[in-house]
Amino acid sequence: MNRHKNQVTQPRELSRNNRLQSYVVYLEDVSVVFDGFKALDIDLFGLYYNELRVVIGPNGAGKTTMCDVISGKTPVTSGHMFWRGQEIVNVRDIAMSRLGVGRKFQTPSMFDSLTVYENLELALPERHNLWRNLWEKTSSEERDKIHQVMGRVHLTDHQDVLAKYLSHGQRQCLEISMLVLAEPDLLLVDEPAAGLTDNETALMADLLLELRGQHTIIVIEHDMEFVRRLDAGVTVLNEGKIMAEGSMNEIQANADVVEAYLGR
């Protein structure tokens, strides 16, 4: 199906069978309840293969909870989730990772005592296998992939630097690079622009735009200028529900969204 890069086709516009065939991940009537509080109440939500989607909303809107559900961290209270057309409700996070879901949290997570290159080496597919880490050397093809991704995020000159000595922006880029090397089908990226300089923000936007078309990507973000840079479809959550979906221009013109979140 041909769509403009920032056009969001509403799930209701497709038959249920087409949703299951077209979406890499699809939520239907999903709710998450914590101690009587409904944190998430999603009617329909779907992402096309290799689509970049930005999810915005005020604090407590349900953005992280939705990613927790998709990544397998949080089980749903009711409803259905489909991965590549197959229902997989309440599959745990380790299994979801094996299926192809990678996640970058707001705070970068890596091995501070290892170099940039060593962190990237451990992120390669199959590197979670202890036997291979101990006895098998990295192949020339794998080394080429590592150097390619380091060059993409301007970390080549820092390949021998311990991760703990990197700037916040460099750590953000390193963690996304680690995710990319693991070759997930879906990347969940939480506030990648938080704490970045202007130059780092531009680099991060360029990196995500370059990855569009190679991976399906969900970006949670509060920085509206960064969202505009991505020029992608936007989903607005509020009080656990989807309030609106569309291009950034459509979202900005939505009076309900302006009142609830944008504030202008």
Q: What is the mean pLDDT of the chain?
A: 88
Whether residues 45 and 164 share a domain: the answer is no
Residue 110 confidence class, pLDDT cut points 50, 70, 90: confident
What confidence tens digit (pLDDT) does each residue in 142-168 have?
Answer: 999 999 999 988 999 999 999 999 998
What's the domain count of the chain? 2
Whether residues 123 and 54 share a domain: the answer is no
Q: Tell me the C-alpha to C-alpha distance, in Å, between residue 177 and each of 96, 116, 211.
A: 19, 10, 11
User: What is residue 72's predicted lDDT score, i.e. its pLDDT?
Assistant: 94
* Cα–Cα distance for residue pair 111/164, rounded to 1 Å: 8
Closest by Cα among 116, 257, 119, 103 to 191: 103
Whether residues 34 and 151 share a domain: the answer is no
Whether residues 55 and 112 share a domain: the answer is no
What confidence tens digit (pLDDT) does each residue in 170-198 have?
Answer: 998 899 999 888 889 999 999 999 888 99
Whether residues 91 and 145 share a domain: the answer is no
Whether residues 42 and 166 share a domain: the answer is no
Whether residues 176 and 207 share a domain: the answer is no
Closest by Cα among 224, 246, 226 to 235: 246
Q: Which residue has the tokens 């409803």?
A: 79
* Cα–Cα distance for residue pair 120/145, rounded to 1 Å: 10
Whether residues 71 and 124 share a domain: the answer is no
What confidence tens digit (pLDDT) does each residue in 192-243 have?
Answer: 998 889 988 998 999 999 888 889 999 999 888 999 999 999 999 999 999 9
Residue 60's domain comprises 1-100+190-264
Whether residues 13 and 88 share a domain: the answer is yes
- Give the 3-state DSSP-derived string for 129-149, with helices as H, strands as E and coil as C: CHHHHHHCCCCHHHHHHHHHH
What confidence tens digit (pLDDT) does each residue in 112-124 have?
Answer: 999 999 999 988 8
Of 151, 183, 215, the one marking the end of a domain is 183
Alpha-carbon dihedral angle through residues 65, 96, 213, 166, given to the nearest 10 degrees: 70
Of 183, 214, 245, the one marking the end of a domain is 183
Own/partner contacts of 85-92, CB < 8 Å, gap of 24 or more, are 85/20, 85/21
Of 161, 183, 205, the one marking the end of a domain is 183
Neighbouring CB atoms inside 10 A of 80's CB total 13
Whether residues 92 and 196 share a domain: the answer is yes
What confidence tens digit (pLDDT) does each residue in 68-94 have?
Answer: 999 999 999 999 999 999 999 778 998
Whether residues 224 and 178 share a domain: the answer is no
Closest by Cα among 42, 41, 57, 1 to 219: 57
Whether residues 78 and 146 share a domain: the answer is no
Residue 78 belongs to a domain with what CATH number?
3.40.50.300
